[in-house]
Structure formats: structure tokens, C-alpha cells
Structure 1
Amino acid sequence: MVNIPEYYAGKNVLISGATGFMGKVLLEKLLRSCPGVKAVYVLVRSKAGQSPKARVADMINCKLFERLQAEQPDFAEKIIAVNSELTLLELDLSKEDQGILVENINVVFHCAATIRFNEPLKDAMQLNVLATQKMLALAHRMKHLEIFIHVSTAYAHCDREVIEEVVYPPPVNYRKLIDSLDWMDDDLVATLTPKLIGERPNTYTYTKALAEYLVQQEAGDLNVAIVRPSIVGASWKEPFPGWIDNFNGPSGIFIAAGKGILRTMRASNDAVADLVPVDVVINTTLAAAWFSGSQRVNRPRSILVYNCTTGGINPFRWGEVEYCINMTFKNNPLEQAFRRPNVNLRSNPFTNQYWTTVSHTLPALLYDGYLTLMGHKPRMMKTITRLHKAMMVLEYFTSHSWVWNTDNVAMLLSNMSPEDKKVFNFDVRQLNWAEYMESYCMGTKKYVLNEELSGLPAARKHLNKLRNIRYTFNTILVVLIWRVFIARSQMARNIWYFVVSLCFKFLSYFRASSTMR
């Protein structure tokens, strides 16, 4: 077998979802590490008055592509923007564009999907299922197609505890569901949605499971593979550590914790946080296309599925995530933090609800009251409400653990040359979680919030100020409790004096013990 860059040399590649988080990283990595690739066609729709070509030009003019720009200044000439809307008939492609794609494409990466977990079922079906069906229909017409890669999610079958690298049949016939949704109004669909998705937590995981089965059923003689990443986070190494450009998934939660807004969260400390760096997912995806594309003549009958996860290979738990976030943002604070970073995970829903009220709602109301008195527009309760909605979406995933089989991923790695293993590394056994989490948190500071590292001294000074305010507040609170409750009751004073004297006795005992040593 040729190595990975040699496989892509001279080939034309089609990417859907190239303007999304994973799509951008895929485009950058493909062009940088496979410089012989002939052209990369990207399906992009017009948005906010911008043409597809203008959107691509804006996209590649960002930090992510700086390394590629330095190494290959003319890389943009290989990117061809194709006007397309995935939810419309024939992907809204012109006849001319259809002809070009049919005649030239060798490799397809279907990454486009809605990642909004609670998208209305009709919309989620349009974007995750019907768009996949249209992409497959186009792929069937391609004369030189070698491999079609469908990017799914490891949580497509989260109603199972053990998830193998196979396509599972869905609970409903997707064709009948598509036909039914055509005549149902939105209210009826909303009423039926909980019954349809069953034990799955949202429409995202449900429709991704349907899309996988559709791919299996409608692939026909196409050479197809499926990549299932778990919770995709910031980059591990490439193009540089910690790159992230959005608030999606855990990133927004990390930022809220760093700002001191998030203080409590429903999660199990012992549950595995199946985070996977985005460059690990992209390297797996490129390698999967290389392997199946090279083996297309003698390919296996069943579709190869790759569970791109970390929990079974290099587990990292939510309790460890909490510790890393708190430590990183205390040492390298975000600018203008609301409070000192101190998020706590709680598995008990009632305890979490109590601390949510005490640590989130009440401070937000007080702060908004202060802003109103100062003549400013209140904003903290709005932020807290958005944060609570995001946490409710993630609650299911932070409170459960799954066992994913990763035999195909191990097989893929074993078939790669030593050089390819370095360039397209997805061996998560090498991942140091503490270092990765620090890079991730710093990435949210640098690339999402656009905060310069030169501002760290001022941010640390601000954090110390918040600490002093907290100590002052606690002291005043203790004095008030004393004056209002203890000083007026003889029994309360006796209990207070007893507790204080007991503490002094313990201190004296330990001081005497240490002196004797």
C-alpha cells in the first residue's frame, strides 16, 4: 500500500461541512500534509449576503491556516467553492457543477450536519438524514469515486451501554418516517418526538443513528466507511495545540467556569469524559479514507465503522476535568472574571439544584440589580439562563459512561507506516490529559475570547481583587450572624464558645506534638 500523502496525490476531494469546526481542520490538514492533492471542492451555501467563494476566502484567512500559508503560499488555488444548499433538491447544485463533480471526484468526506442537540425533529431530519441521502445519490453518479466517508457520532447509539463498530438497525423505518414527516404539522411532530427518540436524549443522536442506517442501506456498490467521534474538543498538536474557534460542546462550559459564572454542574466525578481532540478525529478520518480507498478491490462486505473515542484506551474522568479547569484558570485567569474559578460537579440533582440557586441565580439577580441601579442594562440572568440550557443538554453525557469497541481503529493504526503514524497521529495512548486540558483552556482564552497573553498580569491582579472581596464578604457575613443570632442567645453563645475552645485545644495538641518531634 502507498502511504497516505501518496494516496491523495493527484486526487480530487469533495468536502461537505467544510465551514464547520471539523470541516475546517480537515481541509487544512489535507492540504498541508498531502500537498500532492489536486483539488478540494467544498460545498458552501451563500450566507448573510456573502457568496460561497467569499465565505471560503474569509474562512482561510484565520489563525488555523497560518501554518499552511507559511508552508504553501498558493494553497488557496486548490480550494474550489461550490454553491450548494444540502436541504434542497439535488443539493441545489447547478447542472454544470453536478457535471464537474460527477466527472472528477475521487474521495468524498460528508461532514455536514446540525450539531444543535435539540433541533426540531423535522429540521434535524433534513440536515442529518435527507442531506446524507442526497450526498449518496450524487456519489452514485460519480465515475471515479474510490471512497465515501460519512462522519457520524459515537453517541448515535447512546441508548446502548456497549457500542460495537457496527451499524445498528434503528427503532423505526427511516423511509416511513421521512414520508410521515412530510404531512405532519410542527405541533404534531413535537408531540411525537419524545416517543420516537425513546431512550436517546435528543434529536441529534436519533437522526445520526438513522443516517448511519441509511448509509448502510443505500450505499449499494459504493465503497463506504463511517467515522464516529465522541465529544470533539480543541486540537492536541495540529496545526498547533489548543486551537478552538467556537463555544460549542464543552468549550462554552469551560469558558463559563473560567469566568467564575459556572460554579456547579450536574455530573458524575467517576464518569468517563470521552473527549477527543479534533486533530485526532481528522487524522483518523483521512487514514480511514486512505485504507478503504486503497483496499476497494478487496474490501470487506460490511461497512467499516471506526469508534474514534478515548475512554476505553486512555480514560479521563469528569472529576479530573473539573480539577484541570479550576487549576488552569486560577493560574492563567480569563480577563474580567465575574468570580474566582471554582466549579464543582455534583451527581445528586437536588444538591445541584440548591447550589444552582445559591451560586448562580441569586448572584446573577444581585448583579443585575446593581447594573440597574447604575443605569446599565441587566445581562447576567440572561447569561445564566443560556448557561443552564447548555448544561441541561450536556447533563446526559456528563452523568453516564459507555464502553466503545475500538478494534477497527487499532487495526487502522497497525496498517500505517511509521512515517504516517507520525504525520497522521491518532494514537491517544500518547495523550497527556493534564497538558491537553491546559492547552484547551488556554485555547479558549486565545482563540475564542481573543485575549492576549500580555494581559495575564492584569487578569491575575483582578482575580486577587475578587479573592479579597470574597474574604471581606465572608468576614462581614460571620459578624452579622454573630450579631443577629449568637450574641442575643446565651445558648448560642455557649455552643459558639465550646466550638471555638475545642478548635483551640486541637491546635494546641498538634502544636505540642510537632514540638516534641
Structure 2
Amino acid sequence: MSSVATYYNEKSVLVTGATGFMGKVLVEKLLRSSPDVKAIYILVRPKAGQLMQNRVEHMVKCKLFDRVREECPNFHEKIKPISAELTHPNLAINPEDTAELLSEVNIVFHCAATVRFDEPLKHALLLNVRGTQQLLALARQMKNLETFIHVSTAYANCNQRYIDEIIYPPPMEPKKLLDLVEWMDEFLIEEITPKLIGDWPNTYTFTKALAEYLLQQEKGNINVAIVRPSIVGASWHEPFPGWIDNFNGTSGIFIAAGKGIIRTVKCNVEAVADIVPVDVAINLILATGWYTAVHRPKSMLIYNCTTGGMNPFCWGEMEHHVISTYKRNPLEKAFRIPKANMTSNYLMHQYWTAVSHKAPAFLYDLYLRLTGRKPRMMKLFSRLHKSMTFFEYFTSRTWEWSSDNMNMLMNQLSPKDKKLFCFDVRQLHWSEYIENYCLGTKKYLLNEDMAGIPAAKQHLRKLRNIQYALNTIFLVIIWRIFIARSQMAQNIWYFVVNLCYKFLSYFRASSTLRH
């Protein structure tokens, strides 16, 4: 028997951020591993022009739920959506729903957060800190609550080089900062944001650090644990390899590289790419929920969910696997042949950006204008460069994370649970994982049929021929401008051409004699 899976049977679970990437995987795994779970309440934010029920219907129709759909066709009856808004007073939950949550919920998984690096500080504070504070206040009133699991990020304290499984005090009290932004003009907040966040690279990591500290301050008697995943990537095994549903982080960069749009990336090729598969993070979160509720640790435990310490993999290695995968399994209608140049040198990166990004984008947009179409490539490159600039902080550094609590929890699991809720990243084969990740972007993000690979390869051959033709034209132009004006250069040129001609003649004659 699985102790973890059995624990969640007949339990009522509340999940925030259930319509997001990690939240969806959490709900699916919970339904599949514990089919007798009593109910999964999900807080759903109202969206303009889209009813809450429609958002949930769209979520459960996702391919992610195909496995659980086969095993339990009526699984959607377990999912109970609650209209809520984390940034509003009392989460904007109506009294009837509040009463039901207070009497029914046994476990809370708080996954909701804004993950945008360039989120304005006020909004990031309201969602990541105030939202956590209000959810915690609701949880303290729950009559049958057994545990509260908060999903943070391994980069919440990225201003440290070595990150232990502890709460690091922030430079200011979260409640005071919340009070400050309540009355301050948004323009003024934006002006002082760099000073407020200090040596944190963005508002996301800063507010996640504040949320952790606030949890420690206000948890009261609740059994709270924090899980800190690093860069969350496509699934490793569950529900099937390579599943991904968003363009955030590495996924968008992989696709841009596969399409031949991105040719240069500024990063440290020797820095550790601390990517953790989403199913690894979810398995750890569910195991943490079980351990925290059943064993009731005396203090709040924090779990660094990372791969760098136990199974390191560098950005330079990743570039090789990504490009080779996309060459074997090309994306449809690629802009150029997949190729990438990774460098930590600023001047070299700027050179390749001008030559490989801006110049081709300008020429392609010029071609679109001349043919009466709307230019789009310069705008696309601008967005990609902005994203890569934000991401550069994490691709140019290596951190060390303590993983004592993660290892302790692994040792607490039975052999059955170690298999069913596997989060042992030492078993991860990076080459296989990256290949499945890239194929996942093709199948699940771009919705491309694998049967179209031969046509995509033909398109790459066409692009290669175009590249050869352009290179030839370029060489002829160079010859006409420079070589044709120098007698010595002409002599060298004729010598090389004559040598090539003799070699080809010899090769042709040898081939004729053999036949």
C-alpha cells in the first residue's frame, strides 16, 4: 500500500493556482494516485469575458488529464471550483463557499503566484504576499485543517550563494511594505522599486522571500511547510514524458532556438542549469503534505527542490542536446536552421545579436513590407530579447542549495511511495529528459503532428540550400570588390579553382574506371 496515496483518500483538498502549470499537474496527480479523494476545491479567479465554469471545463479537457480520464471518467465531479480573488479582502469568496471551506478542507496547497519577473512591485506584493496572508487567515479558521503547504521558489533568496533550508529575514517587514504601497502613487512605487528590492534581481523573487517570512510570522498553530522548486520544466514521466503547457522560462527559449529565431544566448556555459521536472516538484509537494500532516514536525520545514546539488547539468551541455534534438525532429516552418552560440562575453553577444538577430529580422520585415504583409520579426525579437535579459541572471550564476530535508523525506517513504511519488533526481538522465522536453514543446505547445517531421526536414534542407546560395553570392561580391582588384589575389584564386577542378576531374575518372 502507498501511505501517501492512502492519506489523501476521503480528504478534502484546497488548491490555489489550479489553472496554472504546476496547479494542473498537482490536481491531476492527486486524482490519479488517490481516486477516493473526497473533493478538490480550486480557487478560480474571474476573468473578463470568461465564466468560471468555462475555465474549469477548458482545464479538464486538457490532454494532461487523458490518463485519469481513462481510469475515472467522472473525475471532474471531484473538482469543486470556488470564485475567488487573492488580492481582494477575504479573497472575495462568498459567505456560503467560505462556510463550506471552513468546515470541509483538510489540506491546503498554495500554488498561486504571479511568476512574471517584470511585474510591478505593488501587484506582485498584493498577489504573492497579501494573497498568502489572506489565505493563511482563512486557513487558521478551518476546523479540520491538517496541513498548509506553500509553494515558493528556490530563488526566493537568490541574493545568497549558498541557500539553506531556512527562512532568511528580509530587509523590511512585509506588513509595513504592504501598508506603504496601499497609499503610495504607483509611479512613485516604480521609481523606488530598485531601492526596495535591493540585491534581488526582480519583484518576483523579492516578494516570494517576503511571503516565506510572513508565513513564519503568522502561521500560528497550523502545520506549515514550504517547498522551493527551482526552474520548473516539462514532465519527466507523469502523466507522460515532456508534457508542458506554457512558454515561460526555458520552454520559450527552446522553441525560439528550434525555430532558428534565436542564434545567440548570453550565459555562462559552465553554470548549472537547475531545471526540475514538474512531476518531481509535484511528487515532493504531495509527499510533503502527507509527512507534515502525519508526523507533525515541531518546526516549519522547508524543502529545496533542486537538481544542481545531486545531478548537475550545465547550460553548455543543454545547448548541445536542444539543438541536436531539433535537428533530428525539426519544428514546422522554421525561420532558420537551429543553431545557437552561447557566450558570457558582452561584446561577443552584442555582435552576434546584431548579425544573427537584428539584421535578419530587419531584412525579413522589409521583405514582408514589400510583399504587402505586416512586419512582425523585429517585434518578436524585441520581446525575446527582453525575456532573455530577465532570464540572464539565472543562466550566468551557480547556486548551492541544501537538500537535507528533501533527503530526509525520501528516506521516510516506503518502497511503494518512492516509486509512486518519485522525486529522486539522481535517477534523471538529462539527455533523455531534454529530448522529451523538446519533443513536448513540439507536440503540446505548438500542437505539431510527429507525422510532419519528414516535411519539416525537407524545409530545413531548403533553408540550407538557400543559406549556401546566399553564402556563394556573398563570396562573389567580396571577390568582385576586393580580390578582382589585386593581381596576387587573382593568382591565388585561380590556383585554388584550378586545384579544385583537377581534384574533381580525378575523382570522376576514378569513379568511371571502377564502374
The normalised TM-score by structure 2 is: 0.95
* Structure 2 match to 1:230: 230
Mapping 1:264-413, distance limit 5 Å = 264-296=264-296, 299-301=297-299, 303-413=300-410
CA–CA separation in structure 2 for the residues paired with 1:356 and 1:314: 32
Q: Contact 1:307/1:404 (CA < 8 Å) preserved in 2?
A: yes
* Structure 2 match to 1:40: 40
Q: CA deviation at 1:495?
A: 7.5
Q: Contact 2:2/2:417 (CA < 8 Å) preserved in 1?
A: no
Letter in 2 for 1:366: L
CA–CA separation in structure 2 for the residues paired with 1:21 and 1:134: 23
Q: Contact 1:340/1:466 (CA < 8 Å) preserved in 2?
A: yes
What secondary structure is seen at the aligned counterpart in 1 of 2:109? strand
CA–CA separation in structure 1 for the residues paired with 2:209 and 2:492: 61
What secondary structure is seen at the aligned counterpart in 2 of 1:169? coil
* Structure 1 match to 2:255: 255
* Structure 2 match to 1:484: 481
* Structure 2 match to 1:131: 131
What secondary structure is seen at the aligned counterpart in 2 of 1:15? strand
CA–CA separation in structure 1 for the residues paired with 2:346 and 2:402: 31
What secondary structure is seen at the aligned counterpart in 2 of 1:200? coil
Q: How many residues align?
A: 500
What secondary structure is seen at the aligned counterpart in 2 of 1:386? helix
**Residue 161 in structure 1 maps to residue 158 in structure 2:** no
* Structure 2 match to 1:30: 30
CA–CA separation in structure 1 for the residues paired with 2:366 and 2:157: 45
Letter in 1 for 2:331: L
What secondary structure is seen at the aligned counterpart in 2 of 1:378? coil
CA–CA separation in structure 2 for the residues paired with 1:344 and 1:135: 45
Letter in 2 for 1:44: V
Mapping 1:18-167, distance limit 5 Å = 18-167=18-167
Q: CA deviation at 1:476?
A: 1.5
What secondary structure is seen at the aligned counterpart in 2 of 1:487? helix
Q: CA deviation at 1:310?
A: 0.2
Q: CA deviation at 1:417?
A: 0.5
CA–CA separation in structure 1 for the residues paired with 2:178 and 2:333: 49
Deviation per residue, 1:279-333 (Å, 9 max, x gap): 000000000000011012xx222x1000000000000100011001110000100
The normalised TM-score by structure 1 is: 0.95
Letter in 1 for 2:475: V
CA–CA separation in structure 1 for the residues paired with 2:398 and 2:489: 47
Q: Contact 1:14/1:108 (CA < 8 Å) preserved in 2?
A: yes
What secondary structure is seen at the aligned counterpart in 1 of 2:19? coil
Letter in 2 for 1:4: V
Q: Quick one: structure 1 residues 275 and 493, their matched pair in 2 at CA, closer, same or farther if it must change by over 3 Å? A: same
What secondary structure is seen at the aligned counterpart in 2 of 1:368? helix
Unpaired segments ≥5 residues, structure 2: 504-515
Q: CA deviation at 1:493?
A: 4.8
* Structure 1 match to 2:430: 433
Percent identical pairs in the alignment equals 62
Q: CA deviation at 1:189?
A: 0.6
What secondary structure is seen at the aligned counterpart in 2 of 1:322? helix
CA–CA separation in structure 2 for the residues paired with 1:492 and 1:351: 30
CA–CA separation in structure 2 for the residues paired with 1:46 and 1:123: 17
CA–CA separation in structure 1 for the residues paired with 2:166 and 2:371: 60
What secondary structure is seen at the aligned counterpart in 2 of 1:312? coil
Moved more, 235-244 or 483-492: 483-492
Q: CA deviation at 1:220?
A: 1.1
Moved more, 218-227 or 52-61: 52-61
CA–CA separation in structure 2 for the residues paired with 1:374 and 1:325: 34
What secondary structure is seen at the aligned counterpart in 1 of 2:485? coil
Q: CA deviation at 1:494?
A: 6.9
**Residue 207 in structure 1 maps to residue 207 in structure 2:** yes
Q: Contact 2:2/2:416 (CA < 8 Å) preserved in 1?
A: no
Q: Contact 1:129/1:210 (CA < 8 Å) preserved in 2?
A: yes
Q: Contact 2:119/2:203 (CA < 8 Å) preserved in 1?
A: yes
Mapping 1:176-191, distance limit 5 Å = 176-191=176-191
Q: CA deviation at 1:478?
A: 1.3
CA–CA separation in structure 2 for the residues paired with 1:264 and 1:492: 34
CA–CA separation in structure 2 for the residues paired with 1:495 and 1:167: 70
Q: Quick one: structure 1 residues 496 and 439, their matched pair in 2 at CA, closer, same or farther if it must change by over 3 Å? A: same
What secondary structure is seen at the aligned counterpart in 2 of 1:466? helix
Q: CA deviation at 1:145?
A: 0.5
CA–CA separation in structure 1 for the residues paired with 2:192 and 2:231: 28
CA–CA separation in structure 2 for the residues paired with 1:447 and 1:40: 25
Q: CA deviation at 1:51?
A: 2.4
Q: Quick one: structure 1 residues 191 and 496, their matched pair in 2 at CA, closer, same or farther if it must change by over 3 Å? A: farther
> Moved runs in structure 1, 4+ residues, more than 6 A?
494-498
Letter in 1 for 2:298: P
Q: Contact 1:12/1:105 (CA < 8 Å) preserved in 2?
A: yes
Deviation per residue, 1:153-199 (Å, 9 max, x gap): 00000000000011110011111111111121111111111111111
Mapping 1:498-513, distance limit 5 Å = none
CA–CA separation in structure 2 for the residues paired with 1:50 and 1:377: 30
Q: Contact 2:266/2:342 (CA < 8 Å) preserved in 1?
A: yes
Q: Contact 1:263/1:342 (CA < 8 Å) preserved in 2?
A: yes
CA–CA separation in structure 2 for the residues paired with 1:496 and 1:286: 69
Q: Quick one: structure 1 residues 436 and 87, their matched pair in 2 at CA, closer, same or farther if it must change by over 3 Å? A: same
Q: Contact 1:5/1:36 (CA < 8 Å) preserved in 2?
A: no
* Structure 1 match to 2:243: 243
